[in-house]
Protein backbone atom coordinates (compact mmCIF):
# COMPACT_ATOMS: atom_id res chain seq x y z
CA UNK A 1 0.00 0.00 0.00
CA UNK A 2 1.29 3.43 -0.97
CA UNK A 3 0.77 6.57 1.11
CA UNK A 4 0.02 9.54 -1.15
CA UNK A 5 -0.54 13.27 -0.99
CA UNK A 6 -2.63 14.24 -4.02
CA UNK A 7 -3.93 17.55 -5.36
CA UNK A 8 -7.57 18.21 -4.58
CA UNK A 9 -10.01 21.06 -5.21
CA UNK A 10 -8.82 23.03 -2.15
CA UNK A 11 -5.30 21.70 -1.68
CA UNK A 12 -3.60 18.53 -0.55
CA UNK A 13 -5.55 15.29 -0.07
CA UNK A 14 -4.12 12.44 1.98
CA UNK A 15 -4.71 9.01 0.45
CA UNK A 16 -3.81 5.32 0.50
CA UNK A 17 -3.50 3.42 -2.76
CA UNK A 18 -2.95 -0.13 -4.00
CA UNK A 19 -2.09 -0.61 -7.67
CA UNK A 20 -3.09 -3.94 -9.13
CA UNK A 21 -0.54 -5.86 -11.16
CA UNK A 22 -3.31 -7.04 -13.49
CA UNK A 23 -3.46 -5.21 -16.82
CA UNK A 24 -6.81 -3.45 -17.22
CA UNK A 25 -7.80 -4.24 -13.63
CA UNK A 26 -11.06 -2.81 -12.30
CA UNK A 27 -10.85 0.21 -10.01
CA UNK A 28 -12.55 1.06 -6.71
CA UNK A 29 -12.88 4.31 -4.76
CA UNK A 30 -13.63 4.08 -1.02
CA UNK A 31 -15.32 6.94 0.89
CA UNK A 32 -15.23 7.24 4.69
CA UNK A 33 -17.67 8.30 7.41
CA UNK A 34 -18.66 11.76 8.61
CA UNK A 35 -15.70 14.08 9.31
CA UNK A 36 -17.61 15.76 12.16
CA UNK A 37 -18.04 12.36 13.84
CA UNK A 38 -14.32 11.51 13.73
CA UNK A 39 -14.70 9.76 10.39
CA UNK A 40 -11.54 9.19 8.37
CA UNK A 41 -10.05 6.82 5.84
CA UNK A 42 -8.92 4.77 8.84
CA UNK A 43 -12.53 3.87 9.69
CA UNK A 44 -12.61 0.13 10.24
CA UNK A 45 -15.37 -0.24 7.64
CA UNK A 46 -13.47 1.86 5.07
CA UNK A 47 -10.28 -0.11 5.68
CA UNK A 48 -12.15 -3.41 5.38
CA UNK A 49 -13.72 -2.37 2.07
CA UNK A 50 -10.35 -1.25 0.73
CA UNK A 51 -8.76 -4.60 1.57
CA UNK A 52 -11.70 -6.46 0.07
CA UNK A 53 -11.25 -4.85 -3.34
CA UNK A 54 -7.46 -5.22 -3.25
CA UNK A 55 -7.83 -8.95 -2.58
CA UNK A 56 -9.87 -9.18 -5.79
CA UNK A 57 -7.26 -7.53 -7.95
CA UNK A 58 -8.73 -4.03 -8.01
CA UNK A 59 -6.62 -0.90 -8.10
CA UNK A 60 -8.06 0.72 -4.99
CA UNK A 61 -7.95 4.21 -3.49
CA UNK A 62 -9.25 5.60 -0.24
CA UNK A 63 -8.62 9.12 1.02
CA UNK A 64 -9.40 11.66 3.70
CA UNK A 65 -12.03 14.26 2.87
CA UNK A 66 -10.99 17.90 3.21
CA UNK A 67 -10.08 18.90 6.76
CA UNK A 68 -9.42 15.32 7.87
CA UNK A 69 -5.91 14.10 8.72
CA UNK A 70 -3.41 15.74 6.38
CA UNK A 71 -6.07 16.79 3.85
CA UNK A 72 -6.36 20.55 3.56
CA UNK A 73 -9.56 22.57 3.76
CA UNK A 74 -12.53 22.33 6.09
CA UNK A 75 -15.82 20.45 6.22
CA UNK A 76 -18.23 21.68 3.55
CA UNK A 77 -21.52 19.91 4.37
CA UNK A 78 -21.20 17.47 1.50
CA UNK A 79 -20.71 19.84 -1.42
CA UNK A 80 -16.95 20.09 -1.09
CA UNK A 81 -16.64 16.44 -0.13
CA UNK A 82 -18.40 15.47 -3.36
CA UNK A 83 -15.87 17.58 -5.24
CA UNK A 84 -13.07 15.78 -3.37
CA UNK A 85 -14.50 12.41 -4.38
CA UNK A 86 -14.84 13.46 -8.03
CA UNK A 87 -11.24 14.68 -8.03
CA UNK A 88 -9.97 11.42 -6.57
CA UNK A 89 -11.96 9.43 -9.13
CA UNK A 90 -10.33 11.52 -11.85
CA UNK A 91 -6.90 10.64 -10.46
CA UNK A 92 -7.75 6.95 -10.17
CA UNK A 93 -9.01 6.81 -13.74
CA UNK A 94 -6.04 8.80 -14.97
CA UNK A 95 -3.51 6.21 -13.83
CA UNK A 96 -5.77 3.32 -14.86
CA UNK A 97 -6.93 4.39 -18.32
CA UNK A 98 -7.69 0.82 -19.38
CA UNK A 99 -9.80 -0.12 -16.36
CA UNK A 100 -12.77 -2.16 -17.51
CA UNK A 101 -15.00 -1.70 -14.46
CA UNK A 102 -15.44 1.10 -11.91
CA UNK A 103 -16.82 0.76 -8.37
CA UNK A 104 -17.47 3.26 -5.62
CA UNK A 105 -18.06 2.15 -2.02
CA UNK A 106 -18.93 4.31 0.96
CA UNK A 107 -19.63 4.06 4.65
CA UNK A 108 -22.20 6.26 6.45
CA UNK A 109 -21.69 9.85 5.20
CA UNK A 110 -19.34 8.37 2.61
CA UNK A 111 -22.21 6.20 1.33
CA UNK A 112 -24.29 9.32 0.77
CA UNK A 113 -21.43 10.99 -1.12
CA UNK A 114 -20.92 7.80 -3.15
CA UNK A 115 -24.55 7.86 -4.26
CA UNK A 116 -24.24 11.53 -5.19
CA UNK A 117 -21.10 10.78 -7.16
CA UNK A 118 -22.57 7.96 -9.24
CA UNK A 119 -25.40 10.25 -10.34
CA UNK A 120 -22.78 12.56 -11.84
CA UNK A 121 -20.35 9.99 -13.20
CA UNK A 122 -21.99 7.53 -15.60
CA UNK A 123 -18.76 5.53 -15.86
CA UNK A 124 -19.41 4.13 -12.36
CA UNK A 125 -20.64 0.60 -12.95
CA UNK A 126 -21.54 -0.55 -9.44
CA UNK A 127 -21.58 0.55 -5.82
CA UNK A 128 -21.73 -0.60 -2.22
CA UNK A 129 -23.29 1.67 0.39
CA UNK A 130 -22.94 0.76 4.07
CA UNK A 131 -25.02 2.38 6.84
CA UNK A 132 -26.38 5.12 4.59
CA UNK A 133 -27.81 7.85 6.88
CA UNK A 134 -31.20 7.92 5.19
CA UNK A 135 -32.79 9.75 8.14
CA UNK A 136 -30.39 12.67 7.60
CA UNK A 137 -30.23 12.81 3.81
CA UNK A 138 -32.96 12.58 1.19
CA UNK A 139 -32.19 9.99 -1.50
CA UNK A 140 -34.82 11.27 -3.93
CA UNK A 141 -31.98 12.48 -6.19
CA UNK A 142 -31.61 8.83 -7.28
CA UNK A 143 -34.15 9.36 -10.01
CA UNK A 144 -33.47 7.03 -11.60
CA UNK A 145 -30.36 5.37 -10.17
CA UNK A 146 -27.97 4.77 -13.11
CA UNK A 147 -25.94 1.90 -11.62
CA UNK A 148 -26.55 -1.37 -9.83
CA UNK A 149 -25.52 -1.64 -6.22
CA UNK A 150 -26.02 -3.04 -2.75
CA UNK A 151 -27.01 -1.17 0.40
CA UNK A 152 -26.22 -2.79 3.76
CA UNK A 153 -27.71 -1.68 7.05
CA UNK A 154 -27.68 -2.99 10.61
CA UNK A 155 -30.73 -4.13 12.55
CA UNK A 156 -29.40 -2.28 15.64
CA UNK A 157 -28.31 0.90 13.87
CA UNK A 158 -29.53 3.86 15.94
CA UNK A 159 -27.79 6.45 13.76
CA UNK A 160 -29.56 5.32 10.58
CA UNK A 161 -32.52 3.19 11.74
CA UNK A 162 -33.46 0.21 9.55
CA UNK A 163 -36.99 1.47 8.96
CA UNK A 164 -35.66 4.71 7.46
CA UNK A 165 -33.26 2.83 5.20
CA UNK A 166 -35.90 0.39 3.98
CA UNK A 167 -38.39 3.20 3.36
CA UNK A 168 -35.87 5.21 1.34
CA UNK A 169 -34.38 2.34 -0.66
CA UNK A 170 -37.76 0.85 -1.54
CA UNK A 171 -38.60 4.07 -3.39
CA UNK A 172 -35.48 4.02 -5.56
CA UNK A 173 -36.12 3.52 -9.24
CA UNK A 174 -33.35 2.42 -11.57
CA UNK A 175 -32.45 2.76 -15.20
CA UNK A 176 -33.27 -0.22 -17.38
CA UNK A 177 -31.02 -3.17 -16.66
CA UNK A 178 -29.84 -1.89 -13.27
CA UNK A 179 -30.79 -3.24 -9.85
CA UNK A 180 -30.40 -1.71 -6.38
CA UNK A 181 -30.55 -4.31 -3.62
CA UNK A 182 -30.56 -3.93 0.13
CA UNK A 183 -29.83 -6.29 3.00
CA UNK A 184 -30.15 -6.03 6.75
CA UNK A 185 -27.32 -7.41 8.87
CA UNK A 186 -28.76 -8.86 12.06
CA UNK A 187 -27.23 -7.51 15.26
CA UNK A 188 -25.11 -4.84 13.56
CA UNK A 189 -24.98 -1.31 14.93
CA UNK A 190 -23.88 1.74 12.93
CA UNK A 191 -20.22 0.96 13.54
CA UNK A 192 -20.38 -2.80 12.90
CA UNK A 193 -18.61 -3.33 16.20
CA UNK A 194 -19.31 -7.06 16.37
CA UNK A 195 -20.47 -7.72 12.83
CA UNK A 196 -17.63 -6.47 10.64
CA UNK A 197 -16.79 -10.02 9.56
CA UNK A 198 -20.39 -10.66 8.52
CA UNK A 199 -20.44 -7.42 6.53
CA UNK A 200 -17.16 -8.39 4.90
CA UNK A 201 -18.46 -11.80 3.84
CA UNK A 202 -21.66 -10.37 2.40
CA UNK A 203 -19.88 -7.57 0.53
CA UNK A 204 -17.33 -10.08 -0.76
CA UNK A 205 -20.06 -12.30 -2.14
CA UNK A 206 -21.81 -9.34 -3.76
CA UNK A 207 -18.66 -8.13 -5.50
CA UNK A 208 -17.90 -11.62 -6.80
CA UNK A 209 -21.46 -12.11 -8.01
CA UNK A 210 -21.53 -8.75 -9.78
CA UNK A 211 -18.16 -9.17 -11.45
CA UNK A 212 -19.22 -12.59 -12.76
CA UNK A 213 -22.15 -11.08 -14.67
CA UNK A 214 -21.84 -10.27 -18.38
CA UNK A 215 -20.44 -6.78 -18.90
CA UNK A 216 -23.21 -4.32 -19.64
CA UNK A 217 -22.95 -2.35 -22.90
CA UNK A 218 -21.11 0.97 -22.56
CA UNK A 219 -23.29 3.88 -23.77
CA UNK A 220 -21.77 6.10 -26.43
CA UNK A 221 -19.64 8.86 -24.95
CA UNK A 222 -19.27 7.25 -21.53
CA UNK A 223 -15.53 6.66 -21.76
CATH number of the domain within which 178 lies: 3.40.50.1820
Q: Decide if 149 is inside a domain.
A: yes
Evaluate the omega torsion of the peptide bond into residue 71 and state whether it is cis, within 30 degrees of 0. no
Is this structure's pTM higher than 0.85? yes
Q: Give mean pLDDT, residues 73-83.
A: 97
Q: What is the pLDDT of residues 21-52, one digit of tens each?
A: 999 999 999 999 999 999 999 999 999 999 99
Sign of CA dihedral 18, 210, 30, 83: positive
Domain containing 29 equals: 2-211
Q: Decide if 216 is inside a domain.
A: no
Residue 215: the pLDDT is 63
Sign of CA dihedral 88, 66, 81, 105: positive
72: alpha, beta or left? (left if phi > 0; alpha if psi -120 to 50): beta
Q: Decide if 217 is inside a domain.
A: no
In the structure, what pLDDT confidence band is assigned to residue 223 with cuts at 50, 70 and 90? very low
Q: Decide if 202 is inside a domain.
A: yes
Q: Decide if 22 is inside a domain.
A: yes
Q: Decide if 73 is inside a domain.
A: yes
Q: Decide if 219 is inside a domain.
A: no
Q: Decide if 16 is inside a domain.
A: yes
Q: How many domains does the chain have?
A: 1
Amino acid sequence: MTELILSGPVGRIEARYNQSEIEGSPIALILHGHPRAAGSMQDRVAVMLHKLYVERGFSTLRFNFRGVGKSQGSFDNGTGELADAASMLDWLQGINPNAKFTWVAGYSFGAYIALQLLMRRPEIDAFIAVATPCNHYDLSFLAPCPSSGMMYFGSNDLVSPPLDVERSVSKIRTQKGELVEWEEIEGADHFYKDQLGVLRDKASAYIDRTMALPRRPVPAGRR
